[in-house]
Structure 1
């Protein structure tokens, strides 16, 4: 259950990162409200998952989901550049997440 909660926390990190960009430095009300709400939810779920999962594992997976998710959202919805090197970096982050998950199982 802690892994599912951690995954949702990571997805909420992607949400707040996207809406923080949309808030234009917290000058737009609704994107700012969504950012803050998603941040609170993300941190609360991360904290809950850390009751069971080790700090290093939980934090690494949470930030990795956020980083790769924000990367994909930036490309798909914000027209950010895509290059072989950026793809390779995202694949390396994903590989690290898989290794972290596998190491936690043993």
Structure 2
């Protein structure tokens, strides 16, 4: 259940961050409301996942790493941002770091 909550927290954070770009500096009230609701939901779900005994470092690494990688890909696919080989390498390093933290967290 904790991992499901974490996955939902990641999805909410991705939605909020995407809406942040669309809010145009908080000048569009509808997208601004999506930003606020998305981040509030994301942090609430992350807090609940941590309450269910996920390691804080691992949960935060998965939450932030998955969100960062997804936002970079969404930016490239839908918002006209460039995805250079260096950015791809960075995304792969983030994913690798999350995997290592997960492996280290299960070794105790």
TM > 0.5 between the two? yes
How many pairs were matched up? Answer: 106
CA RMSD of aligned residues (A): 1.1
TM-score, structure 2 as length reference: 0.91
Superposition deviation, residue 23 in structure 1: 0.3
User: Comparing 91-100 with 69-78, which one deviates more in the overlay?
Assistant: 91-100
Q: Quote the Cα distance in structure 2 between the aligned partners of 1:59 and 1:9.
A: 11
| 1:39 correspondence with 2:39 | yes
Superposition deviation, residue 39 in structure 1: 0.6
TM-score, structure 1 as length reference: 0.93
Which residue is equivalent to 1:54? Answer: 55
CA contact (8 A) 1:11 1:65 kept: no
Which residue is equivalent to 1:100? Answer: 101
Which residue is equivalent to 2:64? Answer: 63
Please list every run of 5 or more consecutive structure 1 residues that lacks an aligned counterpart in the other structure: none
Superposition deviation, residue 43 in structure 1: 0.3
| 1:25 correspondence with 2:52 | no
More RCO (CA 8 Å, sep 6+): 1
Superposition deviation, residue 10 in structure 1: 1.2
CA contact (8 A) 1:11 1:69 kept: no
Query: Which deviations, in whole Å up to 9, do the C-alpha atoms of 1:51-77 show, x marking residues without a partner?
Result: 111221111111111111110110011
Please list every run of 5 or more consecutive structure 2 residues that lacks an aligned counterpart in the other structure: none
